[in-house]
Every structure is written in C-alpha cells, then in structure tokens.
Amino acid sequence: MRRLIVIALVLGLATLAAGLIATRPSFVHGTELAGLTGDAGAGEAVFWAAGCASCHAAEGATDAARLVLAGGQRFASDFGTFVAPNISTDPVHGIGDWTLAQFVTALQNGISPEGRHYYPAFPYTAYRLAERQDLADLWAFWQTLPASDTPSLPHEVGFPFSIRRAVGAWNLLNLSDEFVVAGDLTEQQARGRYLSEALAHCAECHTPRDALGGLDRSAWMTGAPNPSGSGTIPALTPDRLRWSEADIAAYLNDGFTPDFDSAGGHMVSVIRNMAMLPEADRLAIAAYLKALPSDE
C-alpha cells in the first residue's frame, strides 16, 4: 500500500514537472529578429487587418480616436470578463518601453515580458501565424501612435481561471502553427487565408468553441453563439453564406449586405478595419471564404 502511494506520488510529480516544462513561457529573442527592419507605412495596413483598435481603442471610438489604444473595453466569456489593457506608447501605463522581441513574444506566444501567460481573449493564437516582417512593420507603425496615461483595469475572472499558468496547458491544446484551411489554394485564396486566419481572426467570432473555450477547428467558420448576449454569429461557409465574392468584398467595405441591410454588432468595428485595406485584400478574403470546407 505504502509503495503504491509512493509510486503514485512520484508519477504525479513527474507529470506535474512535465506539465510545467511543457507550459513554461517561451520567449522570442532579439537575435531571431535582428535581420528585420520595420516599415511604418506597411505596418499601418497590418494594424487595420489585425484589428488591434477594435479591442484596444475605447468602446465605440471612430476615426482618429481609434488610434488611441487606451484599453477599457470589456469582453464577456464563459470564464469571466476580460478588460482590454492600455497598449498605447505610454511607457508607464502602456507598452512604450517594450522591445520588438517583447512585442513579438506577446503577440505570437501569448507571454508577457515578465513571463506571465496572457488569456486567449487576446487572439495571439491567430497572430502566431503572422509573418515576422509584418510584426516588425506593425511595431514601426506603433512608434507613430499617441500615448495615453489611462491605467489598465484588472480582469474580472474567478478561480480557477484566475490562475494564468493554466493557460499554458490550454496553449498545448490550442496553439497551432498550421493554417486551418489546407490544400491547394490560389495565390489570392492564400492571401485571403493569411489575412483571415493570421491577422483578422474572423474565426474568433464565427467559429464555435469547445468546453475549454478553444476554437473547434473541425467546425471552422460555421457560426457560433454570440458571446456578448443573444443571437447567433452567422456562418461564413459557402453553403450558408451564398453571397457573391463581389458582394462579400463590398460588405467588408461599406457594411451593406446584398439586400442593403446594414451590418451590426461587433462586425461594425471589423468592417471599419477592413475598409482601410486595399480592395484586392477584401476580394482575397472573399475568395478564401468561398474556399472554406462546407458544414454538412
């Protein structure tokens, strides 16, 4: 009996240790990024495509106010309410004193400069797939943005979700280095996939989640309950979204459906971002949506 307990203990400790090693924060080092020079102009396009302002600007911000990344917006989930932090260039309240390596580590590994795990309400699971050059450009654009001294507010997340370390285990299940839509894609579809999966994180809203809050990759873009209340976020697979590619691209620009209803909910903010991109990018996203596997 005693021996059994000892074996169980040893096994338990070993599993724990393996878990801790596997979930240990991993940093991107400056040397990996040494060859990159950021271009602020190109970074602006990355900024809009990636939708940073939709979460980090003040609720309902429009026009120039969308460049003030003071935080404060609240995101309800099954695990509690997350509050977007200040990520402006303020060195005290924002991320003004960060390095490019710290920025990339946050965006692609979900790890803070102190080694804490971020919650996946911050879509680093998507940004993980972004090109490093794009992130260097984004960081160059960042340097042109205003500072805000609004303090960040704490999340309202209860135990056990308040244990950030647990996110490390979640990451083992949900952090992927592969695009979801695979197979032969045209150049345009591949561009659309990059924009949609790596930057604009369309799936964060349009894909259902499993019990742990991870995206169900087998039901990609097949629609999902609306996390912030009632209603359903529509499916975008070609069997359900029957709009033409031109209609999809136009909606992403002017916000009107083919029946000239006007988009609502969180899609309004997404469209504000998409409208800042070149038309070719909106058409590429439309082409990608038409290449999605259908949901039977």
Give the H or E element holding residue 167. helix 165-174
Length of the chain: 296
Rule CB under 6 A: which residues touch ligand HEC?
50-52, 54-56, 75, 82, 84-85, 87, 95, 106-107, 112, 118-119, 121-123, 127, 196, 200-202, 204-206, 233-234, 236, 241, 248, 251, 257, 260-267, 270, 274, 285
**Residue 250 binds which entry of ligand HEC, other proteins, none, CB below 5-8 Å type-dependent:** other proteins
In the block, residue with structure tokens 């060859």:
35
The strand pairing partners of 77, in sequence order, are 80
Phi/psi class of residue 201: alpha, beta or left (left: φ > 0; alpha: ψ in -120 to 50)?
A: left
Residue in 256, 276, 291, 293 binding other proteins, rule: CB under 8 A: 256
Is residue 114 near other proteins by the rule CB under 8 A?
A: no
Q: Which is nearer to other proteins, 109 or 269 (by Cβ)?
A: 269
200-229 residues near other proteins, rule: CB under 8 A? 226, 229
CB count within 10 Å of CB 131 equals 13
**Residue 43 binds which entry of ligand HEC, other proteins, none, CB below 5-8 Å type-dependent:** none
The full 3-state SS of 48-113, as one line of letters, equals HHHCHHHHHCCCCCCHHHHHCCCCCCEEEECCEEEECCCCCCCCCCCCCCCCHHHHHHHHHHCECC
263-282 residues near other proteins, rule: CB under 8 A? 263-269, 271
Collapsing DSSP states into helix, strand and coil, what is residue 273? helix
Is residue 72 near other proteins by the rule CB under 8 A?
A: no
Q: Which is nearer to other proteins, 12 or 265 (by Cβ)?
A: 265
Q: Which is nearer to other proteins, 99 or 253 (by Cβ)?
A: 253
Q: Which residues contact 19 (CB under 8 A, 6 or more apart)?
A: 168, 169
Is residue 232 near other proteins by the rule CB under 8 A?
A: yes
Q: List interacting residues with other proteins (CB under 8 A).
A: 60, 62, 226, 229-234, 250, 254-256, 259-269, 271
